[in-house]
């Protein structure tokens, strides 16, 4: 069991409290308590899953739809991008490890062709913290032609913000 540390001033240290919250011994808790604890920590913004991304992602500044290339149905909208993958805001829950053939309509300032088609694999999917009807889905690019990869890199440079993407939280919205 973790002990409580008190600062010299007698107040609890926020850093120590966070560390204690994350270092709690889960071995004696039931699975339900583990799931509840995970949910509470993730709602507080604790980074529970280790970062596996090799290339830093950027917020995507253009509201660009991504379609299923086979059904022509909307899959979601790009929210951040890197040259190795991207994140979508989607109305559909997409299971991890699903390979999808996707299509992005291109703008004349990044390509001379109308759209590009490629295969991407969903790596994770979670309900949006702000809008429970939306899912945030991370994708890794699996198969893309060299020409389309060049276009995708131009998209990243042109529409990706210069600062690294950050996780959305409640303070990012005007009504807060």
Q: What is the mean pLDDT of residues 67-77?
A: 97
Confidence band, pLDDT 50/70/90 cuts, at residue 1: very low
The most confident of 27-31, 149-153, 157-161, by mean pLDDT: 149-153
Distance CA 45, CA 144 (A): 33
Q: What is the mean pLDDT of residues 51-76?
A: 74
Q: Strand, coil or helix: what is 100?
A: strand
Please compute, for residue 56, the number of CA atoms within 13 A of its CA located in the half-sphere on the CB side. Answer: 10
All structural domains of the chain: 1-48 (no CATH), 58-161 (2.40.10.220)
Confidence band, pLDDT 50/70/90 cuts, at residue 158: confident
- Does the predicted TM-score (pTM) go above 0.85? no
114 in Cβ contact with 167 (< 8 Å): no
Q: Residue 166 gets which letter from DSSP?
A: -
For residue 30, the model assigns a pLDDT of 41
Q: What is the mean pLDDT of residues 30-39?
A: 43
């Amino acid at each position: 069991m973790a002990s409580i540390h008190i600062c010299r001033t007698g107040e609890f240290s926020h850093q120590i409290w966070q560390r204690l919250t994350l270092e709690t011994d889960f071995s004696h808790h039931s699975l339900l308590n583990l799931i509840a604890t995970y949910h509470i920590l993730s709602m507080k913004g604790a980074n529970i899953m280790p970062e596996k991304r090799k290339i830093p992602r950027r917020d995507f500044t253009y509201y660009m739809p991504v379609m299923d290339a086979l059904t022509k149905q909307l899959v979601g909208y790009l929210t951040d991008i890197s040259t190795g993958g991207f994140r979508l805001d989607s109305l559909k829950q997409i299971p991890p490890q699903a390979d999808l053939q996707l299509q992005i309509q291109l703008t004349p300032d990044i390509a001379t062709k109308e759209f590009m088609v490629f295969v991407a694999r969903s790596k994770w999917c979670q309900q949006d913290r702000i809008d429970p009807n939306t899912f945030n889905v991370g994708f890794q690019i699996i198969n893309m032609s060299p020409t389309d990869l060049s276009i995708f890199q131009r998209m990243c440079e042109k529409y990706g913000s210069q600062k690294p993407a950050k996780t959305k939280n409640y303070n990012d919205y005007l009504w807060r």
